Amino acid sequence: MEPATRYAAFALRSAIVIVIVSGLLLGERRFAFFTSQSNLIALGYFVTALVLMAQRRGTVTPVPALRGAVTFWLTTTALIAHFLNSHGMNPIPGLFDPDPAVAINNTGLFLLHYVSPILVLIDWLVIGPHGVVRWRTALVWLLYPIGYGVVMIVRGTLLPAVNDRYPYPFLDPTVAGIGGMSLALGRVILILAAIAFAVIAVDRLVSLLARTRERATVAS
């Protein structure tokens, strides 16, 4: 990889780390929320990638399947935050709330819900290797969000006085009963599966386009 490209990759991954750290520090972040957990995992991954890149003086993508998982989990974070929690509302006005504390907290959430997922997705699309993650790996990626949901439901049931008892409405059996919660949770799992396979699909598409360009270059 050309030096300029390596520097661009390092800059992109540095930006991811800066955005996540800023989002976690701006406002109150609670570990029970998937947003906090997924971004902390992403932070650990990209800090590790940056250290390896600095040591080896090249673009290093440790464990591509794990990078795919991080991409999937942050994409999930963004979509759930925007469509399920905020019901598709524009988050930009919240950044300029007249209450400075609210504006700061909203800015932190904006970084974690939108900016870090977009940057991580860009990393997934533009930095190789591509086409190495298998389709069935998507099922492994699902284990974490499903496990998270189960733990949160059990936690809220056994510890009713705990903070953030049910972090998300679709995990709360008191809203629509056990049946309603199970139905909502089932729909969420199906959506997550579609997102996971879509993450791999776009990676395969990028790989296919790269191979096509290489063949065209050789032929010319």
Domain count, the chain: 1
- Per-residue confidence of the chain (220 residues) as pLDDT tens digits? 566 688 999 999 999 999 999 999 999 999 999 999 999 999 999 999 999 999 988 888 999 999 999 999 999 999 999 998 899 999 999 999 999 999 999 999 999 999 999 999 999 999 999 999 999 999 999 999 999 999 999 999 999 999 999 999 889 998 878 999 999 899 999 999 999 999 999 999 999 998 888 888 777 6
> Domain span at residue 117?
3-219
Question: Which pLDDT score, from 0 to 100, does residue 176 have?
Answer: 79
DSSP-derived secondary structure for the chain: --HHHHHHHHHHHHHHHHHHHHHHHSS---TTSHHHHHHHHHHHHHHHHHHHHHHHTS-----HHHHHHHHHHHHHHHHIIIIIISTT--SGGGGG-SSHHHHHHHHHHHIIIIIHHHHHHHHHHHSS--S-S-TTHHHHHTHHHHHHHHHHHHHHHH-TTSTTSSSSGGG-HHHHHHHHHHHHHHHHHHHHHHHHHHHHHHHHHHHHHHHHHHHHHHH-
pLDDT for 214: 81
Can you give the pLDDT at residue 2? 63
Q: What per-residue confidence (pLDDT) applies to 220?
A: 67
